Each structure stands twice: as structure tokens, then as C-alpha cells.
A and B are shown apart, each in its own frame.
Chain A
């Protein structure tokens, strides 16, 4: 069973619908027991890092999510990718889950580049270049786990990372058309 973690960080409807479209059953849950028992875990998130971390704490999900990210097939999306890292500049600086070692920074103010980045940008992987849909003001710095990179506002950042059974992406595969569905399908099938 695949659990989609609901920690009150954004709307999970489209994540659930994307898996429905693949014919894959998912359960949306805030319950630590359900997430512990799940075979695979999807960790989405939209919003601010500070309130997301606070909410994980209140729901008793911090250790459960860390554990799942370290051992299980795990998919982090957008803010759910960012807070897997050690620390973000957002909200005056917030310590995150620290599953992976890199920092999350805000895009610099560069003329001609609006922040947040909203829209379709390309992700370059060793195999190919494909477009996915992004909505974000903060990015994960380049690191050893980056398997996909994207450029915006003069910055090249880690738009997709992989570490063991963990995959995480800054973009929204659930809103990225065929490319996004193929990524989700690949993740479901490989693990």
C-alpha cells in the first residue's frame, strides 16, 4: 500500500488523482501508524517550510517520515523534497529533517526572473531532457545525490535527487502531463 502523507501542507487532491489515473491505490493519511505500515510513502507539500516542520512535529510524524525516507521506497515532491534536507533559508532559517545533506536557498533577485518560478522548465538527467511543472521560490543546492538539474535566475539547482530507494523532485509530477505520469509510474514499478 502507498501512503500519501497529509501534514496540512497544501492540497493533495491532484497527487491522489494522478495515482488514480495510473490505477494505483493510495491512502492519504496523517496517522503515524498508517505511514509506518505503508510499503511506499509519498511526501508532497506546498507552502512554507516553517509551518510544514511545525505541523510534522505536532502530528508526531517527524521520526516516521525520517525512517520511511531512509528505508522505504519514498517520493518527495516540492516542499516535501526541500524539507528532506538539512536546513532551509525560508522563514528566517529552519532546521529540516536532515535526511540528505544540502541546503535550501531562495532564488536571488535577478532582473527578468520572477520569484516564485511558475511554469514548465526542463530537467536535465544523464539520459534525457524533459519539461516538468514547477512552482517554487526556494531550491535545493547542487549536491552528490542530484540526478536531475534545472536552471533558473542564473542558478543551476538539484531538481531531482536520488539516494537508495528515495526519489525526490522539486517539480510537480502530478501536474506535469505525460512526463510526470511516466515518472510516477516508473517510481511505482521500480520499487
Chain B
């Protein structure tokens, strides 16, 4: 088995007084695509934010390529090779599309995708390069948010609800992008509500509830887990 690129143990996280994560444990191997499933409020988004150091406070362990990230500032965590695509997309209104794309600095010695390569995958972004980021359509903004983390050379991507609220044709496009990324050897953690989107993409699934991982299974077990998914997700 490939080495563990991300290993999380007993991760607890708080926003102010509210205790959101209660000991999350999971691991992601190099080159894997893993999906966190769960209802709204189960703690999936908070898990990603806790990995990035964006929650109020956290304890436990987050090993990224063997380096402990709990206790590091967010910019240091990002420099360990993480690309984060937040749920709200985080497109900056004061920046043009291209400025948004060029915002995250390249990681030292990582050799991320070239701008041309990115525009090949997302031709719309080239057409709209000079437009303010928030003038783009929802789908284009989502593509921009994903494209933005590809340039840096980060090999571990945390993608939060990238298919949410988008037209089927765009969702399909994003699915293709994830498949391309997997072929290129990226490691991806998806947080998804849209199970149909995630099912064919992910190697393994973790189910979260009440701030904990309650179940994990591989894609091959999908069929046999239908009843469980019904129970946890209501799908």
C-alpha cells in the first residue's frame, strides 16, 4: 500500500465554545481519492478547516507527509503541500479571474501546473481572465476555485462540496477534472453531499456523524452498503 499522505488521529475542534469535532480519525494514502460523507452539520467541512488550521482551536494529531500540522499557522500548513478549496469557494471580488488564479504562491520545488495547462482544462477561465472574480457564473467560480489550487504544486487537495448547486453539465466537467487529477497522481479529499457525484470518483468513503467518523468502506463495498447509506445520509 502507498504511504499515508494524511493521517488524522483523535482530532478535536472548537469554534469558540462549541465543540464540533470529537476525535476524528482517518488516513488518506498517496494517490487516493477519499470522500467524506455525512449529513449537514456532521462535521465534514469543519474537518477540512481543522486540517488547514482555520478553526478556533484544535487538539489531536494531523500528520501531513509525516509532519505534525496541529500547532502550525495556516500558511505553514499550506506549504506542506496542501491545496484547499473552501465550501464558499472563496473567490475574491476585488481580484480579476487571473489574479484569483495566481493568488496562491507556488510551493518551493513542487512544480505545479502551468497556466496554459490550467487554461486547457478550463478554457472558460481564459476567456474571462480579466473579469472580476465574482462576476463569473457559479460554475465558473467553482472551476476557478479548483484551478487555483492546481497551480501551486500542492499534491494533497481538500475540496469542499465542489458540486454543490451547479448545473449537471458543470458537475460532469468537475467529475472529469477529478479523474484527470487522480491519473496525474494527486491525492484528493472530497467533502460531498452529492453521493452520485462522489460514488464513481472515490476509492474509499468515510461516513461522519456528530463530529466523528462512524463508518468506512471501499468503493467495491458500495453496493452492500446501500442500506447503511440510507440510514446515515437519507439517500
Q: Do A and B come from one complex?
A: no
